Amino acid sequence: MAGFISALPGAVSQGLIWGIMAIGVYITYKILDIADLTVDGSFCTGGAVFVVLFGAGAGLWLAMPAALLAGMLAGLATGLLHTACGIPAILAGILTQLGLWSVNLSIMGMKANVAINVIDPASLDRLLVSLRFVQGAVRGDESLWRHPIVTVGLFTAAIIAVLYWFFGTELGASLRATGANPDMARAQGISTGRGKVLGLMLSNGLAALSGALLSQYQAFADASMGRGAIVVGLAAVIIGRVLFSSVFRNFALKLLGVSAGAVIYHVVIQAVVSLSGIDTNYLKLISAATVAVFLAAPFWRERFFARGAGKGGRAHA
Amino acid sequence: MLDIDGVCKTFNAGTVNEKTALRDLSLHIGEGEFVTVIGGNGAGKSTLLNAVAGVWAVDRGTIAIGGEDVTRLPEHRRARYIGRVFQDPMMGTAATMQIEENMALAMRRGRRRTLRPGICRAERETYREMLRILDLGLENRLTAKVGLLSGGQRQALTLLMATLQRPKLLLLDEHTAALDPRTAAKVLDATERIVGRDRLTTLMITHNMRDAIAHGSRLIMLYDGRVVVDVSGEEKRRLTVPQLLELFGRASGSDEADDTLLLS
């Protein structure tokens, strides 16, 4: 129990970091109605780009936007495979993700793992987040403002603010229409192909930013760091909806719910690990099974409980 | 306003499901004409409207709107000239978006979508005024999600959205077919009022011969991918359903008109 409590701040920090990727998944999965598997690759692309640039002496202001841009390029690739080549979205994402494996390795100089120097205080100080800040803040030799929960929390708030603004603009509204009803969107002069590409770029840009933050946090980028990212993202989206959909109706709050979903996911996983002592290699199986159950829930509810549930018309949300 | 010349369209060419939907079809519609389109199942009515709207490319022929050749323009680029209402009430609006958001999307049809706000305060008043015309009480529900509306309300809203900016061409694809008779009459009435008010060039498909005769200034009948009957003016005004059936029988060379045309 004590182990779990002491691991809690770390789990919350990681949850917030993954939450940014989950917000990206929300954009494709809920707004555009596309299951985009590119994020498994672009998450690592962000980490790889950041670590390499940072290692070469670049500051946050260069390395973070570069990671964002690299992720957007990955989204562009999937978007073009889907819209310009007519490949089903899910397959387009798988193709990009597979290709990114090589791209990510080549970014990292054909090494599966590249570390950030956090021993050198000057280097550590240039980072936005680090696991060391969690420990530092607890010990008191680091200001609380540098605690990852605070920095990533503020970062997330800024991203939510930008997205809230964007989806309220003409362009953002056309993206929402593209996902909600492509026939209607085209009839109203919206290029649904362009909307999908833009949404995929946005989503993978966020995944890459999230990867860049995680690589800082754990002080390394790893070729397999994005494996299963889509499942974590879906889990966060689903947890966010299940727990908060009745209170969070505003778009910004829904995004906040997704971020909170990612935090809860990580806290639960941490609890399972600390309290049951299970081999962490089983975590992916547990995650997959949990997400499968949540995805199946609406279908089961319809199938087994709908018949006896009275004759009143069910409202479709 | 609309010039269709020698348009052909075959679906699934070269397969057992091959279906020629439009055969060398030509049609010229002048500005302000309100054309009703009838024909049996598979005659090519919806295919004709989809060809004009640009849902897919035609195999041969040209389509021009207001003198501009749009044959090669994709669907979303043609939308700046065209307002559309579909047969399926779910198809013309975005269910998860608000009434005012749907209208704001339609208001920006044919314009570049920028990073300006998707809807501004002044627009809301305009939309409220416009919704009042429909007489469905929607003017007080601007921020309601469209998914909460009935099929008839959604269809009326789609009609309003199609005509928000005066389109060069209004395409109505059996837009009252999925509605109950009372709602259908109401939507048809709103159609008549809006088309009359803005003098819109309109193509309206209907499976109801009485509606086809009662509305519009010109009536065309399709059979097997071609225009086989085309009446307008005084002749159309005096047209009756039996006469129409006879015209159809003569044009199609068959007397099974009653079977092929869905009557009501």
Element holding A271 (H helix, E strand): helix A251-276
> What is the rounded distance in angstroms from the CA atom of residue B159 to the CA atom of residue B167?
12
Tell me whether residue A235 is exposed, middle or buried, using C-beta atoms within 10 angstroms of its C-beta: 0 to 12, 13 to 18, 19 or more: buried
- What residues have CB less than 8 Å from A102, skipping those under 6 apart? none
Nearest CA in chain B to A316: B147
DSSP 8-class letter at B93: S
Nearest CA in chain A to B144: A317
Q: Report chain B residues whose CB lies below 8 A from the CB of A187.
A: 53, 75, 79, 82, 84, 86, 92, 162
Per the listing, tokens 């707004």 go with: A31
Tell me whether residue B156 is exposed, middle or buried, using C-beta atoms within 10 angstroms of its C-beta: 0 to 12, 13 to 18, 19 or more: buried
Q: What are phi and psi of B173, to 5 degrees?
A: -100, 90
Nearest CA in chain A to B150: A315
Compute the CA torsion angle B64, B68, B70, B71 (nearest 10 deg): 60
pLDDT band, residue B97 (cuts 50/70/90): very high
Q: How many beta-carbon pairs under 8 angstroms link A with B?
A: 92
Give the CA distances from residue A18 to residues A25, A43, B61, in Å, rounded to whole numbers and listed in that order.
11, 10, 54
The interface predicted TM-score (ipTM) is 0.90
On whether any CB of chain A is under 8 Å from the CB of B262, the answer is no
Tell if the CB–CB gap between B118 and A183 is shorter than 8 Å.
Answer: no
The predicted model gives B193-204 an average pLDDT of 94
Tell if the CB–CB gap between B94 and A172 is shorter than 8 Å.
Answer: no
Taking a C-beta distance cutoff of 8 angstroms, is the pair B176, B87 a contact? no
E-strand stretches of A29-156: 113-115
Give the CA distances from residue B15 to residues B43, B59, B60, in Å, rounded to whole numbers and listed in that order.
20, 16, 19
Tell if the CB–CB gap between A184 and B74 is shorter than 8 Å.
Answer: no
For every residue of B37-68, DSSP letters joined together read: EEE-TTSSHHHHHHHHHTSS--SEEEEEETTE
Instruction: Measure the CA angle with vertex A17, ends A11 and A22; round to 5°.
Output: 110
Best mutation target among A164, A184, A254 (most B Cβ atoms within 10 Å) is A184
Distance from CA of A237 to the nearest CA of B (A): 17
| Radius of gyration in angstroms for the set of CA atoms belonging to chain A, rounded to a whole number | 20
On whether any CB of chain A is under 8 Å from the CB of B41, the answer is no
Chain centroid, CA B150 distance in Å: 20
Distance from CA of B55 to the nearest CA of A (A): 9
Chain centroid, CA A88 distance in Å: 22
Least confident of A54-63, A302-311, B7-16, B201-210: A302-311
- Say if pTM beats, i.e. exceeds, 0.80: yes
pLDDT at B256: 52
Distance from CA of B229 to the nearest CA of A (A): 29
DSSP 8-class letter at B115: S
Q: Look at strands B202-205 and B169-173 and give their pairing.
A: parallel
pLDDT band, residue B28 (cuts 50/70/90): very high
Nearest CA in chain B to A193: B76
| Residue A140 amino acid letter | G
Q: Angle formed by the axes of helices A170-180 and B99-107, to 10°?
A: 110
Tell if the CB–CB gap between A169 and B105 is shorter than 8 Å.
Answer: no
pLDDT at A295: 82
> What is the rounded distance in angstroms from the CA atom of residue B234 to the CA atom of residue B222?
21
A251 or B263, higher pLDDT: A251
Q: Find, among A115, A116, A76, A120, the residue nearest to A99 by Cα.
A: A76
What residues in chain A have per-residue pLDDT under 70? 306-317
Q: Find, among A135, A140, A35, A153, the residue nearest to A94 by Cα.
A: A35
pLDDT band, residue B13 (cuts 50/70/90): confident
For every residue of B224-264, DSSP letters joined together read: TTEEEEEEEHHHHHT--HHHHHHHHHHHHT-S-HHHHS---
Q: Find, among A201, A192, A170, A199, the residue nearest to B115 by Cα.
A: A170
Least confident of A296-300, B59-63, B114-118: A296-300
On whether any CB of chain A is under 8 Å from the CB of B150, the answer is no
pLDDT at A312: 40
Q: Report chain A residues whose CB lies below 8 A from the CB of B151.
A: none
Residues in chain A: 317
Tell if the CB–CB gap between A188 and B109 is shorter than 8 Å.
Answer: yes
Assigned token pair, A3: 């182990």
Best mutation target among B105, B107, B112 (most A Cβ atoms within 10 Å) is B105
pLDDT at A274: 85
| Residue B249 amino acid letter | G
Per the listing, tokens 């390394």 go with: A220
On whether any CB of chain A is under 8 Å from the CB of B122, the answer is no
Facing B105 at nearest CB: one of A174, A315, A316:
A174
Assigned token pair, A113: 């793992």
pLDDT at B134: 84
Facing A180 at nearest CB: one of B74, B75, B97:
B97
A220 three-state secondary structure? strand
pLDDT at A246: 83
